[in-house]
Chains A and B, each alone.
Chain A
Amino acid sequence: MAKQQEDGTGPESGGGNPLIERTFSGFADLAARLGKLDLAVGGHAGIRDRAIAAEAKRLRRQIREFEPSITMIGQVKAGKTTLVNAMVGRPNLLPADVNPWTSVVTSLHLMAGRETTTGRASFQFFDEAEWNHLMKLGGRVGELASRAGADEEVEKVRQQLEEMRQKSRKRLGRRFEMLLGQSHDYERFDKALIERYVCLGDDFWEDSDGSPDQGRFADITRSADLWLGCSDLPLNLCIRDTPGVNDTFMIREQITIHALRGSRLCVMVLSAQQALSTVDLALIRMISNVKSRDVIIFVNRIDELADPVAEVPEIRASIVETLKKADGPADAEIIFGSGFWANHALEGKCDQLGADSARSLLAWAEGNAGGDAPKESTEALVWHLSGLPALGNAIASRIEAGPGAKIEARIKGALGNIEKSALASRSIAHKRQKREQTDLMTPQQVQAELDMIEHRAVEALSDRIDKLRATFLDRVEKSRQTFLGRASASLLKHLESYGDGEVWSYDASGLRILLRSAYQVFVRSANRIGEEVFAQAAADLGALYGQAFDLDQEEVSLDPPAVPQSPPPVALGQTIALDLRGSWWTRFWRRARGYQAFIDDFSRLIYEETGPIVSALKTHNTDPFEASLHVALDEFICAQRAILTDLSVGKSVGAEPGGEAGGTGPDAFVFSPDARPRRKEANQ
């Protein structure tokens, strides 16, 4: 197992836990390969070709900063936090019985190969804009209510919010709003500190009669970042615990969507007791917009099932059925287990499970007495049965195939280019030493050529993406209209046949599917454009090596950079009016007069409701993806520009560690690092 031992810290100082080590052993291969790449790249970081070394260092940093992440989402009371604690091998790390009011996203950054200690902690408060959106407009619910013209509802939301705000003021003092936008950072953290920011109780404060600490900042805390050393982990890993969905103001939904945006891989935690149902549609909507191979479903709390062996297949079937009906990822992997068992195994307290739980465990053990069950200790067996190793493996294999493969490909390509550049540098230095003709172009010409290549590539990328974006937006608008047309027709028919007394509903998943496929088409085309433009730029730059230094084209055929990954369209998961079946907003229809007025109001409402989804798709998906394409192109060209510039002005030293500076060519140039090379006036 290759551990990254970047600053010489020894493997572990007795803190290792074989259970955790086994759980994440699936990362070992990827970690070993990345370790090899790190070494190979490192070999170039010390050479005296400044630009090449800089590029090598940049790659090395990328390898070491690689931190794949998982977002945990789940039903309320599914035992998400207990499970997260078990995953990191610390049963008491995060407060598990937090009142579900909390809306904090907690990110656990597990630092591979470090000593098992707690590290930094950082708590970020809501910023002013977010807070105002919530307080002044009543968040999404307020938005919806005022859009529907439901003034009473708007007023109710306002009152609730005012109460909340009064409470916050009581807890935090009159000027608490000055804290907005700030963050509190600590060098060390403990449970009490976390509770101060994360545990929020509605009436919690009153109950604990004024104790100033617990939950003190929770009202306004948006996210918590905790860094932990984890000697059993071969790779860095970030586990994100989200507050779940379904709250009065839909704040938590927004927050969860935001968290999902940050990581591709998503674990949905369900409770075996309350398998997936229509109550969880909001949850299903969230995961429906992540690729199904990036979704893992963990059915927790099987310890509470009387007969797990018989019940588990039923639960599985029912989950698949529900997902299918809701157009969710029905082929996602489903794992059954128990965070409760896992934590007992970690603490070595398997004898304290309680009679019912122990009975379930035994039944489950008998049903799963497969060949691969570890026999060496009770703890190991219980751990195995808790489903944690299976979860760890599933996570590892997804990361290996997803972000792992992506970074490997990217680094390999870039490493190949570094090697080619180094080779070119050596052969130029060699020729110069032998006073052979090598510089066919002046540095100015090289610069001009570089400018042209860059200009051409950037223009091509912008032009083609602009066109693509226009097509995409056009298609999105059409889909929106098509959907609106169908939905209005359905409403009209409903009104004609049942009048306005009956509640009408229309499945909004159609719209989401349409928008999702529009986005997928955009991504596919943008990928193709990226590949083509990058390939052209790589070919142009390779050709420039040949032209400028009389090198063999084969020697310097550069690999184009990898096209970045597109963010999943998670914004599509947000709840819109149509999803709130039979709730207060449907009453609003009864106030409208005449069916046509119904239809008009409906169309307007739904059109506006879908607006934020469409704009989020643009601001959080297509825009960043476009930007990331530009960044990838820019980084590639910049690195090559630096290398080619060095070569052309004779700064290259032949890429040999400790080699002599190569002689400058017949023309002498003045070069300053912060300016483009400039031919000596006298020579003109």
Chain B
Amino acid sequence: MTNVSQDRQAMLGRLETALSAPGIPAKAVSACRSLIAQLGRPVRVGLFGTPGVGKAWAFNMLAGEEVVPDGVDLPTLQLKWGAERRTLVTLEDGQRVARAGLPEPDLVTLDPVFVQVEAPIDVLRGLSLLNLVTEAEGREMHSALKWAAARSDISIWCTRYWSSFERSVWRQGPETLRNHALLAVLAEPMRPVPDIRPDVQDGFERVCAVSQGATGRQSLREGLFQVIEDALAEDVDTALAFLQRIEPAAPGAVAVVPVPVTPEPPVPVTPEPPVAAPVPEAPPAPPPEVVAAPVPPTPLRRCSRPVREEPGISPEAFAGISRVFLFLRAGAGKAYRALPRGAMDADNANELLGDLETFFEDLVDMTEREDALCEQWPDLQTAVSEAQELALLMRIEGGAEQAAEAAALMMQLRREFEYALAA
């Protein structure tokens, strides 16, 4: 699972190099800087929901410590990394008060409007947490969400029953909140968690059933890390597509085939018995200084990755997936080499879109011929055909942006294959 963050590190390096390269166009410099900023910044996670659903509990679970004191009526609170434990309180008149340590219950007496907390908790090296506190009233929630949207990369909506009120608040909320979103369905310990399936249009990448006990913490964290990782993967893909367009075509540097940690296509062997992901005392491989940023909306519905729970994987399936993967990887390399350096004009873009459309069609044909693969990884098959459909729609739309998106699609698919292979 660490390959995403390794990708990210490698990517940051390459972006820095690209920035210092001579002759880089001015426009590319600013794009490059913003990509570096995106990739370098800790990911900002926002927790939302109506009062009383257990947001504070979820917040503390994610922080790994009781930052928000139980039963205390604190306002919106932000938690981020800091060398010392320290609480910064903003009062109604704009005045700010600093205190050492985590928030104490008596903070309420100051009647604060906003609380910022810093703490040397490991998980905060990679992310910051925002607990948005509002009244359960439509208009107030709406403006609060708008405020929070500019301060969050990833949204977690905490709910009990996903009521129609919550649905309408969420749907009317800012679009960017839905770029990377997780629905956490909370339930009292030992009580069944209701089976809630939000609408596709609500844009939740995952739904986490969280029982408010010891196990809940793990599933909440895992869900969050998954979303973070997906968001990061997208950023890396975007950066890759960008780099490919500006990096000088140094013949040796065509280690471009952007597979930094790709396992070699495995030799068909009987795989080891699957191991359940270890329970994280500290999160297993917390994607540390991870970042999500307003990227183009996710083109692919991410595959869930049930692969781990899958018992034995047949050698045929492995052989099949390897064949398709090699084809995909070769195609991805070819497509990236074909990307023009510098800005793409409409003709270039449309030609590339046409090529990619054909490529995805071939990929679908090839995948469908591999029966064992399709049986073993139905999600992968779905992802392939979905990518093909998207590539077709992008080709019909035409344009440089669409071409870059279609190329990124290929990267994303490659990543899905890598996950399946590495499992």
Contacts and interface: CB of A to CB of B under 8 A. Distances in A.
Interface of A: 327, 475, 478-479, 481-483, 486, 489-490, 492, 506-507, 509-510, 513-514, 596, 600, 603
A105 B385 CA distance: 40
Contact of B386 (A327, A478, A510): A478
Given A481-B200, A489-B297, A510-B396, A596 B175 contact: yes
A478 B172 CA distance: 24
26 contacts: A327-B396, A475-B385, A479-B389, A481-B200, A482-B390, A483-B389, A483-B393, A486-B390, A486-B393, A486-B394, A486-B397, A489-B297, A492-B175, A506-B397, A507-B396, A507-B397, A509-B396, A510-B392, A510-B393, A510-B396, A513-B396, A514-B392, A514-B393, A596-B172, A596-B175, A603-B201
Nearest to B386: A482
Interface string B397-420: 100000000000000000000000
Nearest to A327: B396
B28 to A, nearest CB: 22
Nearest to A490: B397
Interface string B345-386: 000000000000000000000000000000000000010011
B122 to A, nearest CB: 37
Contacts, number: 37
B302 interface: no
Nearest to A481: B200
Nearest to B200: A481
Contacts of A479: 389
B171 interface: yes
A473 B162 CA distance: 28
A482 B389 contact: yes
B175 to A, nearest CB: 7
A600 B200 contact: no
A217 to B, nearest CB: 44
Contacts of B397: 486, 490, 506-507, 510
Main secondary structure of the interface of A (DSSP, over half): helix
B389 A514 contact: yes
Most buried by B among A486, A507, A513: A486
B172 to A, nearest CB: 7
Give me the 9 closest cross-chain CB pairs, A-B, nearest first: A510-B393, A510-B396, A486-B393, A482-B389, A507-B396, A514-B389, A479-B389, A481-B200, A489-B297
A482 B397 CA distance: 14
Interface in B131-189: 171-172, 175
A482 B297 contact: no
Contacts of B171: 596, 600
A507 to B, nearest CB: 5
A482 B297 CA distance: 13
Contacts of B393: 482-483, 486, 510, 514
Nearest to A506: B397
A3 B229 CA distance: 74
Interface in B4-20: none
Contacts of A596: 171-172, 175
A475 B200 CA distance: 15
A134 B12 CA distance: 63
A448 to B, nearest CB: 36
A513 to B, nearest CB: 6
A489 B397 CA distance: 12
Nearest to A492: B175
Contacts of A475: 385
Contacts of A513: 392, 396
Nearest to A513: B392
A509 B393 CA distance: 9
A153 to B, nearest CB: 27
Interface string B197-226: 000110000000000000000000000000
Nearest to A600: B171
Contacts of A600: 171
Contacts of B392: 510, 513-514
A155 B397 CA distance: 35
Contacts of A506: 397
Nearest to A477: B200
Contacts of A510: 392-393, 396-397
Contacts of A483: 389, 393
A425 B389 CA distance: 56
Contacts of A482: 386, 389-390, 393
A486 B406 CA distance: 12
A507 B397 CA distance: 7
B392 to A, nearest CB: 6
Given A475-B385, A478-B382, A600-B171, 7 more contacts: A479-B389, A483-B393, A486-B390, A489-B297, A513-B396, A514-B393, A596-B175
Contacts of B385: 475
A36 B386 CA distance: 51
Nearest to A595: B175
Contacts of B386: 478, 482
Contacts of A478: 382, 386
Most buried by A among B171, B172, B390, B396: B396
B364 to A, nearest CB: 9
A356 B201 CA distance: 62
Most buried by A among B175, B200, B392, B394: B392
A596 B174 CA distance: 9
Contacts of B389: 479, 482-483, 514
Contacts of B200: 481
Contacts of B390: 482, 486
Nearest to B382: A478
Contacts of A327: 396
A17 to B, nearest CB: 48
B139 to A, nearest CB: 14
Contacts of A486: 390, 393-394, 397
A481 B389 CA distance: 11
Nearest to A474: B382
A474 to B, nearest CB: 10
A525 to B, nearest CB: 10
Interface string B269-296: 0000000000000000000000000000
Contacts of B172: 596
A509 B390 CA distance: 13
A596 B202 CA distance: 12
A478 B300 CA distance: 12
A486 B394 CA distance: 8
A486 B175 CA distance: 15
Nearest to A521: B368
Nearest to B385: A475
A509 B397 CA distance: 10
A510 B389 CA distance: 9
Contacts of B396: 327, 507, 509-510, 513
B178 to A, nearest CB: 10
B297 to A, nearest CB: 6
A357 to B, nearest CB: 42
A513 B396 CA distance: 10
A514 B396 CA distance: 12
